[in-house]
């Protein structure tokens, strides 16, 4: 596979081809995912939960993100490397630019930022400074205490319209990708069709342009609660590389996620 860029994913959206993303936190797994053809690797602040053992993502620091971004970038040749801006690291456009610069210097090719249209000025400033931005709407884990837990978002009409409106505003501000997490499949489909940019789903049904999973969920090694939208591909294959290939294949075919992984 040749080097994946934002333009690659945009072309795949236009052609109706599904792309696959997965989280990575070190060079070894980054190389494995890259070798097997994953299109994008996300250094997620989910590392606070799956690596550090926290109950949420809020304790993850910029230093944590820079360290893991550097590790993943060293193991990646072709996949698009995206890194999260962690909790309270983008409260002003100036802070967002400073911290995004640290992630880009560590090897990220795009930063992901959680939140709605109140971030538009920061997104405009980031893109003016040459930083590609991925938005994140729906269940945004950094707002877990505002939501009262890890709950599906957008099930009532008012909330669904708010998420839809935020998606359009973020696109106009300059994001080039959007993650939709834990929203009803019908809402995700509506947003995906409305946006010019590629949309990545996690717990958002099969109609998005791409899918992403936390690597620990894809291998069935997450301790404690297992989200409905995940699938243990390792259990079906017995081999990590084969599990990644199966994940990519089923996303491309449209067989994952199925109805059992989606929300109404």
**pLDDT tens column, 192-237:** 999 999 999 999 999 999 999 999 999 999 877 788 999 999 999 9
Predicted confidence at residue 19, as pLDDT, reads 98
Question: What contacts 24+ positions apart, CB below 8 Å, involve 156-159?
Answer: none
**What span, in angstroms and rounded, lies between the C-alpha atoms of 118 and 99?**
18
Report yes or no on 166 lying in a domain.
yes
Asked if the peptide bond before residue 257 counts as cis, ω within 30 degrees of 0, the response is yes
Cβ 234 vs Cβ 243: under 8 Å: yes
Identify the domain containing residue 251 by its residue range.
Answer: 6-261
Kindly state the helix (H) or strand (E) to which residue 178 belongs, with its residue range: strand 177-181
Report yes or no on 55 lying in a domain.
yes
pLDDT higher than 80, residue 1: no
- Conformation bin of residue 226: beta by default, left when phi > 0, alpha when psi is -120 to 50: beta
**Tell me, what CATH number does 132's domain have?**
3.20.20.60
Q: Pairing mode, if any, of strands 19-23 and 210-213?
A: parallel
Report yes or no on 1 lying in a domain.
no
Report yes or no on 235 lying in a domain.
yes
Report yes or no on 165 lying in a domain.
yes
Per-residue pLDDT band at 148 (split at 50, 70, 90): confident
Number of domains in the chain: 1
Active site residues: 181
DSSP β-bridge partners for residue 113: 135
Report yes or no on 39 lying in a domain.
yes
Specify the pTM.
0.97
Cβ-based neighbour number of residue 250 at 10 Å: 19
**Tokens coding 97:** 């630019």
Phi and psi at 43, nearest 5°, equal -85, 95
Q: What is the mean predicted confidence (pLDDT) over 252-264? A: 95
Cβ-based neighbour number of residue 189 at 10 Å: 17
Q: Kindly report, residue by residue over 80-118, the tens digit of the pLDDT.
A: 999 999 999 999 999 999 999 999 999 999 999 999 999
């Amino acid at each position: 596979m040749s080097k994946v860029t934002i333009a690659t994913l945009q072309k795949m959206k236009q052609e109706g081809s599904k792309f696959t993303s997965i989280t990575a936190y070190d060079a070894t797994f980054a190389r494995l995912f890259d070798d097997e053809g994953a299109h994008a690797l996300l250094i997620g602040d989910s590392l606070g939960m799956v690596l550090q053992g926290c109950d949420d993502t809020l304790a993850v620091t910029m230093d944590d993100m820079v360290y893991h971004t550097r590790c993943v970038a060293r193991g990646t040749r072709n996949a698009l490397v995206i890194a999260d801006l962690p909790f309270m690291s983008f409260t002003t456009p100036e802070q967002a630019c400073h911290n995004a610069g640290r992630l880009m210097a560590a090897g990220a090719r795009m930063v992901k930022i959680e939140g709605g249209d109140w971030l538009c000025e920061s997104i405009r400033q980031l893109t003016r400074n040459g930083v590609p931005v991925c938005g994140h709407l729906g269940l945004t884990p950094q707002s877990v205490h505002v939501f009262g837990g890890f709950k599906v978002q957008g099930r009532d009409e008012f909330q669904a319209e708010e998420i839809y409106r935020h998606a359009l505003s973020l696109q106009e501000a300059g994001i080039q990708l959007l993650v939709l997490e834990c929203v009803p499949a019908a809402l995700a489909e509506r947003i995906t069709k409305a946006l010019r940019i590629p949309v990545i789903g996690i717990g958002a049904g099969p109609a998005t342009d791409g899918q992403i999973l936390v690597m620990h969920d894809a291998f069935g090694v997450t301790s404690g609660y297992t989200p409905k939208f995940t699938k243990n591909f390792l259990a079906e294959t017995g081999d990590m590389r084969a599990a990644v290939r199966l994940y990519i294949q089923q996303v491309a075919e449209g067989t994952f996620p199925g109805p059992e992984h989606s929300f109404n």
